[in-house]
A = this chain, B = another copy of it.
Amino acid sequence: MTAGRPAAALLITGQELLLGLVSDANTRFLAHELDALGIELRRVSIVGDEHEEIAAGLRELAGHDLVVTSGGLGPTHDDRTVEAVAEVAGAELVLDEDLLTTIAAITAAFARRRGTDPALNRDGDRKQAMVPRGATVIPPAGTAPGLLLALGAGHVLVLPGPPRELATVWGRALELEPVAALRERAGTLLRHTLRVYGVGEPAVARAFAAAGGDAAGTRTTICARALEVEVTIRAEPERKAGLEALVAGLREQLGEAIYSEDESPLSEHVLVLLRGRGLHLAVAESCTAGLVAARLADIPGSSDVLLGGVIAYADEVKRDLLGVPAALLAEYGAVSAEVARAMAEGARAATGADVGVAVTGVAGPGGGSERKPVGLVYLHVSAPGLERGQEHHLIGNRAQVREWATVAALQLVRTTVSQITPS
């Protein structure tokens, strides 16, 4: 915490969050955005849909420079955020005629597409066009507008709940004067990210200490995730030299374990490496059953690298589609280094890909044995003139074993392909 930086809080509304029906998708997005602007997020409150719950939550957060709310802007009576914000801000609700015209046009277009009567929307349109007097209206991405108004010594920014609408209206709010002024006040916060694979969190913490820690005025977080450790170093602009020295020290301590110095996903790193070498990839997945390919296909434009592959859950599919010899399956079993290798080679042969990656393992909870316990996973990457196999013993439930096996497989593709000289 730095006293000088603008302080923010989030008020997330939605009874469905308090009932555990859905997960909150907006906090992480807004937290990351605020951090990137140098604005400190100090508190998140999640409350239900009742007027008094929202008002009480907002009153508690009113001391911050910026409070961002999400949700409760719909057309029905149980969407109460605007009323509650108006009450706490001491502003009466008034009909914004221009906004009503905008919203009515949007809902009429929806009604035409669905073949319903636009007149059914009249009450809802009007409800959504009621705004606290003095608020700045931010054009809607769906039907709900955003609102920005003064709250105590700071401001409250009211955003719709659906994540896509929230992100769009947030982007528009950044240009408004009070938010721009906060960004100006925040100035530049230097931030550098190092992502480490193959070294645990304690070892990274020791490397951080050996590199001098935060002695030069930096602020560092060390955060372990699925098989990787992310080190984020923040510094005020006048501490630039200190940040650079710490980064250099960490590079010296951790060497090749640092696989990325940006925030792009692992799958994107893998695709960039393959693309840079003109290589196509195919998968052969047993226990992960498509997760490796799906992770790569998350990235737009992945189709120039990823050809596809085979989900070989049953032994017959390993044999018939990947050409894994029945004798190999009988001798070593489906979960073995030998079968992983044959699967990777089979993926290349079946698809014509340059590189094949195979995953076979025991995800659990059943199917384990003393010799092949739950969490045992074999990986193999087969590339032109080069191959790598790995055995992992992963500890976790079924979902974790499959998730970590997916990450480990992508990392094995990355480290293997890195050995190939770009053409």
Q: Is A50 an interface residue (CB 8 A)?
A: yes
Most buried by B among A19, A41, A296: A19
Q: Which residues of B contact A223 (CB under 8 A)?
A: 16, 21-22
The reply to whether B307 and A303 contact each other, CB–CB distance below 8 Å, is no
Q: Known contacts A41-B19, A48-B42, A350-B320; is A290 also within 8 Å of B303 by CB?
A: no
The reply to whether A44 and B18 contact each other, CB–CB distance below 8 Å, is yes
Per the 8 Å Cβ criterion, residues 309-331 of A in contact with B are 309-314, 316-317, 320-321
Q: What's the number of copies of this chain in the assembled complex?
A: 2
List 7 other contacts, CB 8 Å, given A21-B221, A22-B223: A24-B27, A27-B46, A43-B53, A44-B44, A283-B290, A286-B308, A298-B399
Interface residue from B45, B301, B366 paired with A45 (Cβ < 8 Å): B45
Q: Is A213 an interface residue (CB 8 A)?
A: no
Complex CA gap A397/B31 in Å reads 21
Complex CA gap A57/B61 in Å reads 12
Q: Is A396 an interface residue (CB 8 A)?
A: yes
Q: How many residues of A are in contact with the other chain, CB < 8 A?
A: 85
The reply to whether A20 and B32 contact each other, CB–CB distance below 8 Å, is yes
The reply to whether A32 and B19 contact each other, CB–CB distance below 8 Å, is yes
Which A residues are within 8 Å of any B CB, using their own CB? 1, 15-24, 27-35, 40-48, 50, 53, 57, 60, 164, 221, 223, 225, 230, 232, 282-283, 285-294, 296-298, 300-303, 306-314, 316-317, 320-321, 350-352, 363-367, 396-400, 402
The reply to whether B22 and A225 contact each other, CB–CB distance below 8 Å, is yes
Most buried by B among A291, A398, A399: A291
Chosen A-B contacts, 20 in total, with CB atoms closer than 8 Å, are A1-B48, A17-B44, A19-B35, A22-B225, A23-B24, A42-B48, A42-B53, A44-B44, A164-B397, A164-B400, A282-B317, A283-B311, A285-B290, A289-B293, A289-B308, A297-B313, A303-B314, A307-B313, A307-B316, A316-B352
